[in-house]
Structure 1
């Protein structure tokens, strides 16, 4: 598809015609020699003198090429361009963070896999989360791990293959034996601090209570809310256990409620998979679409055509007129024959 970037410049097309109508003709004064015997000279040469200016006449080719070249120059100024096929860009409109507890209790083998075999909690969680990541094709996903300390395992990225590989490398105890829920929320706030996305979601999974956090979990939830982060919490431990192994479902509920999220409890692998499937529906993938059409500038075509026409005209004139001028000059300089 072709279009003009500045179509209003086509209004310049009649400008030479207006100048021809409205402006006075160009005049040039030259020096002359006064001859006292002018009339005798005119009779001797057989010429009839006339009063007034001498008007130079152009040839028919110049009359054709001049308006053509002007039209081509104006067309080049108008900016002809060709629109290429549109390119659609799809960008993520949500940041999604997954925080996974790696404290010592995650090694408890009280979950069943698809074959009915007992596996530890972390292995069950990794399988479910891996499937969840695979379904979130358009979200930027980041991974946080926490135990005694909390740190980012994978930055926010669309490279989900890398996130899944880093998820597979998680091991119980690699972040310490205790549970720092507040610190994990704090890491989520830092990871999204420079994000341009208004929607930010943190899915926090733990099987213990907040015993090692440097910042209280509920205070961290308030900070997360101020930074537009919605937290969904999943508790998979035993609420009746003692000490570090007891999951504080009430505290997880308060964290989620404070940020506008939801709280869940997963007692087995099937229930955990159902929770992530529900979260997949509650927070559907959200994308932004933008369309970009590349533009190919074509001003050089009419500009080059005008230049070539002018060069060709002048070469033609030099080729045609120069031999005639030389022939006329040689004829005027040749000596008269005797008896003439």
Structure 2
């Protein structure tokens, strides 16, 4: 569709007509001698008449060319643009951070899978969390893994395939044998600070108790709440265990409560999958939609066509003048 960014310039189109009617051509009367029998006189005196002043009349094609050139110049001044079909763009409206415990206890082969078999805890988590990541189309997702230290495995990105691939490559013990939940939350807060998106969600999964964080998980959760980060915690370990193998449910509940989230306990893979389904319902996909229509400037084409027509008209005039001289 053709549009003009400066449509008021089109008001100049009738300007030549206004000049023609309001400012007529200058005329001047001068004395002259008329010879009604000029050719007879010239023949009697033996003179050969030669060309004098000639007012060349404008042909129809030349007049048409002048009109077209003027119209094209005015249209170019009006800044014509070609407007394309609307293009809709979607961008993430929320950042989702996944913090996964990969301490030594995640190597336990005691987690009931969907088929009833006992499987490694981390393997079951990979399957469930991987499916959850694949369904986050429209969100930016990041991945943190933690053990004795916390690491950003994948920064915030909309490339969900890459995040899932990095999750699949994660192995137990890569970050050390202990569990630093507080440091993982602190690293998540630092990562979120680089984000300009207001909706922020941290999903933290652990099977043990905090054993060596520089900042307590509760204090870290309080800071996260001030930063506008909601925290959902998930426990997958054994609440009746002992030492570092014991799941500290109360701490996970306190973390979620301090950051305005919820705590869930997963006893098996089906329960874990159901938890992520509930999280997906609590935090549905959110996107900001923006649409625009591409605009291509066409003024240069109008000017180019005007130049071509003008040169063609000028060539026609010069050619006609040579023919008259030759005659």
Q: Does the TM-score normalized on the shorter chain lie above 0.5? A: yes
Distance in 1 of aligned mates of 2:240 and 2:90: 47
Q: Which residue of 2 aligns with 1:324?
A: 324
Task: Please state whether the residue corresponding to 2:213 is helix, strand or coil.
Answer: coil
Cα displacement (A) at 1:45: 10
What is the CA distance between 1:142 and its match in structure 2?
1.1
Taking a change above 3 Å as real, the CA distance of residues 231 and 26 of structure 1, as seen in their structure-2 partners, is farther
Alpha-carbon shift at residue 276 of structure 1 (Å): 0.9
Distance 1:8 1:42, change over 3 A: closer
Trace 1:106-185 onto structure 2 (pairs within 5 A). 106-185=106-185
Structure-1 separation of matches of 2:313 and 2:169: 76
How far, CA to CA, are the matches of 1:177 and 1:26 in structure 2?
102
RMSD of the TM alignment (CA)? Answer: 2.8
The CA distance in 2 between the partners of 1:170 and 1:314, in whole Å, is 77
Paired residues of 2:204 and 2:233 also in contact (CA < 8 A): yes
Separation of aligned partners in 1, 2:270 and 2:34: 121
Mapped pair 1:65 → 2:98? no
Equivalent positions of 1:244-263 (< 5 A) are 244-263=244-263
2:235 matches 1:235:
yes
Question: Aligned equivalents of 1:299 and 1:102: distance in 2?
Answer: 62
Q: TM-score, normalised by structure 1?
A: 0.83
Question: Is contact 2:113–2:268 with CA below 8 Å preserved after alignment?
Answer: no
In structure 1, the residue corresponding to 2:195 is in which secondary structure?
coil
- 1:282 — aligned with what? 282
Equivalent residue for 2:294?
294
Q: Which residue of 1 aligns with 2:207?
A: 207
| Structure 2 unaligned residues grouped into runs of 5+ | 39-52
Q: Distance in 2 between matches of 1:192 and 1:55?
A: 84
Deviation at 1:242, TM superposition (A): 2.5
Closer, same or farther: CA 135–58 of 1 in aligned 2, 3 Å: same
Following superposition, the deviation at residue 65 of structure 1 comes to 3.1
Q: Quote the Cα distance in structure 1 between the aligned partners of 2:10 and 2:35.
A: 55
Please give the TM-score of this superposition, normalised by the length of structure 2: 0.86
Structure 2 CA distance for partners of 1:170 and 1:309, relative to 1, 3 Å: closer
Q: How does 1:79-94 map to 2 (within 5 A)?
A: 79-94=79-94
**Structure-2 residue corresponding to 1:100:** 100
1:231 Cα deviation (Å)? 0.6
Partner of 1:337: none
With 184-193 and 301-310 compared, the bigger mean Cα shift is at: 301-310
* CA 311–286 in structure 1, closer or farther in 2 if over 3 Å, else same: same
**Once the two structures are superposed, what CA deviation does each residue of 1:232-273 show, in whole Å capped at 9, x if it has no partner?**
001122233332222222221221122221111112222111
Of structures 1 and 2, the larger Rg is shown by: 1
How far off its partner does 1:96 sit?
0.9
- CA positional deviation for 1:310: 1.6
Moved more, 170-179 or 274-283: 170-179
Q: Distance in 2 between matches of 1:113 and 1:146?
A: 23
Residues 1:4 and 2:12 aligned together: no
Q: Secondary structure at the match of 1:110?
A: strand
Residue 55 of structure 1: how far off its partner (Å):
12
Segment of structure 1 superposing worse, 309-318 or 59-68: 59-68
- Match for residue 265 of structure 2? 265
CA distance in 2, matches of 1:120, 1:261: 27
- 1:24-60 deviation per Cα after TM superposition (whole angstroms, max 9, x unaligned): 75699xxxxxxxxx99x888996xxxxxxx9967524
Q: Hey, what does 1:49 align to over in structure 2?
A: none
